[in-house]
Amino acid sequence: MAALLPVLLAHLLFICAHGATASAAATPPPLPILPVPSYAQLRWQLSEMALFLHFGPNTFTDSEWGTGHADPSVFAPPALDAGQWARVAARGGFGRVVLTAKHHDGFCLWPSALTNYSVAASPWLAGAGDVVAELAAAARAEGVGLGLYLSPWDRHEPVYGDTVAYNEHYMGQMTELLTRYGEVEEVWLDGAKGDAKKMNYMFDAWFALIHQLQQRVVIFSDAGPDTRWVGDEAGVAGYTCWSTFNKSSVTIGHTTEEYSRCGDPLGQDWVPAECDVSIRPGWFWHASEKPKNATTLLDIYYKSVGRNCLLILNVPPNSSGLISNEDIQVLQEFTEIRHTIFSHNFATNATVTANSVRGGQDNLQFAPSNVLENNIYSYWAPQEGQTSWEMLFDFGQSTSFNVLQLQEPIQLGQRVIEFHVDILIDELWQTIIEATTIGYKRLLKFPVTESRYLKLSIDSARADPLISFFGVFMDPFSDKYNLENHDKRTNSSEDIMLRTGNAAGSRSTAAM
């Protein structure tokens, strides 16, 4: 019993130290700290994962980079089923699908009126097929968003190299894609170009057109404007990862890897990062290649979605026009693993208290218990002007866990700079992890630990910190397969710390 007295006192002090009574009038929410996401950016972030579909002549010629001279007759999938692609995405928890409507070879997966190098010239469906139309319909049926990639580089188009003529050509094809197929939620593009011809892309004009034609679209490139490339093709974000960014500091094709990976706490723009990686070694399907296993995908998930980013996982259809069974099997295992881990939150029935609540300790509007609801629009908020922010969780019994999930209500801006988490063991608070940035979602993996009591301390923030979710989970898979949980480019704050202090006399507990 003596060991529990400090914690029970902490509970009492949490409730009594700021004993303001509830006001008859509702307390207004705190002011957002700018920048904040747009409606389209919020939808993008909430979708968490996208399925990338690299498909085209390269699929049939066993190539990664097409020359633009492959005969259209090579495009002849005997069993193409875009419905299967969309079902795989929906069942795997992917909120959207992104198709390579045109890759660098210039071959169009829709019958473009601006070129004869398209599905209309192929034997597939006797030249009457339209892959984009089939996927658009399938995505709507499955409730997943549609995204399209239109390569800036076109190795087939004769006017490529004539800046004005090609930009007109490109914008004409973009107009076809964004006016024929209903709502498009993402346009994915890069700055790819060949060395043989000098070419200037009029990105600002492209972006203006895209936003004009699709009001709910986000545009991805390595420099935004709406989502940014994370800087690698391994699906790994920085351990510190801000959605805030300065678009004026970068241009497409000229970015700094560290800046892209980590973002900018002083950034004036909201440009969250997207992590692209392929399930196979290549981006297009090759019979000789095999997919990554499910636990490798889980590790990538922790380092992308779990670091405030969206994971876009490439799963290329094969030459039959189907996602291969071996890829589907891996995705099913990946889905089952995530469900096993995250379907049981050990904090669900916890008693949660905080050293401060906006509007007073009795104000349920911003109560600490809000963090047990998986909803970014319900959150804990502290009183304004505090210098320390702490939450105490009592699980009711000793609990073993090795994963923490934290979320911020990002519609009010990204706030937390640094935080740490302690557990109580033998009357001592032991710090099990120190970390930086939360954002939309933060997943932290560490060796299995056990305690009844856990304390979240936010050490610094851009404004009063707000927490929308806190979860405690057990991952039995990563350790079993000895996955490496630290990538080589992280800073020391990622390392698990083991600081100890007397529970009854430490500064944190005294403050509570």
Beta bridge partners of 421: 433, 456
pLDDT band at 196 (very low <50, low <70, confident <90, very high): confident
Angle at 186 between CA 327 and CA 204, to 5 degrees: 135
Question: Quick one: which of 82, 25, 31 has its CA closest to 360?
Answer: 25
The answer, yes or no, to whether residue 54 has pLDDT greater than 70, is yes
**pLDDT tens string 145-158:** 999 999 999 999 99
Each residue of 278-289: pLDDT tens digit? 999 999 999 999
What secondary structure letter does DSSP report for 402?
E
Confidence class of residue 254 from pLDDT cuts 50, 70 and 90?
confident
Least Cα distance to 180 among 101, 87, 92 occurs for 101
- pLDDT at site 480: 53
Mean pLDDT of 271-278: 98
Q: How does the average pLDDT of the chain come out, rounded?
A: 90
Q: For the segment 431-488, what is each residue's pLDDT rounded down to a tens digit?
A: 999 999 999 999 999 999 999 999 999 999 999 999 999 999 999 998 754 443 444 3
**DSSP character string of 120-138:** GGSSGGGGT--HHHHHHHH
DSSP reduced 3-state for 360: coil
Report the percent of the chain where pLDDT is more than 90: 85
Q: In this model, does residue 245 exceed pLDDT 70?
A: yes
Q: At what angle do helices 131-142 and 163-180 cross, to 10 degrees?
A: 40
The strand ranges marked E within 153-205 are 186-188
pTM of the model: 0.91
How large is the average pLDDT for residues 75-82?
98
Whether pLDDT at 330 is above 70? yes
Across 364-381, average pLDDT: 97
Q: Look-up: residue for tokens 């856990």?
A: 454
Q: Of all residues in the chain, what percent carry a pLDDT higher than 70?
A: 89
Residue partners of 329: CB distance under 8 A and separation at least 6:
none
Instruction: Give the range among 65-79, 132-146, 305-319, 469-483 with minimum mean pLDDT.
Output: 469-483
Helix 203-213 × helix 163-180 angle, to 10°: 20
Q: Which two tokens stand for residue 402?
A: 């090795």
Q: How far apart are alpha carbons 248 and 232 in whole angstroms? A: 21
State the pLDDT at residue 217.
98
Tens-place pLDDT, residues 120-129: 999 999 999 9
| pLDDT surpasses 50 at 294 | yes
The pLDDT-based confidence of 253 (bands split at 50, 70, 90) is confident
The two structure tokens encoding residue 450: 């056990």
Mean pLDDT of 188-217: 93
- Residue 494's pLDDT is what? 42
Q: How would you classify the pairing of strands 469-473 and 389-407?
A: antiparallel
Hey, what are 327's tokens?
Answer: 């890829």
pLDDT given at position 195: 75
| pLDDT, tens only, 391-446 | 999 999 999 999 999 999 999 999 999 999 999 999 999 999 999 999 999 999 99
Tokens of 37: 């996401």
Mean local confidence (pLDDT), 198-215? 96
Res 24: pLDDT:
53
Residue 407 in tokens: 């979320």
For 1-43, the pLDDT digits (tens) are 444 444 444 444 444 444 444 445 799 999 999 999 999 999 9
User: HSE of 436 in the Cβ direction (CA atoms, 13 Å)?
Assistant: 17
**How far is residue 209's CA from residue 187's CA, in Å, rounded to a whole number?**
11
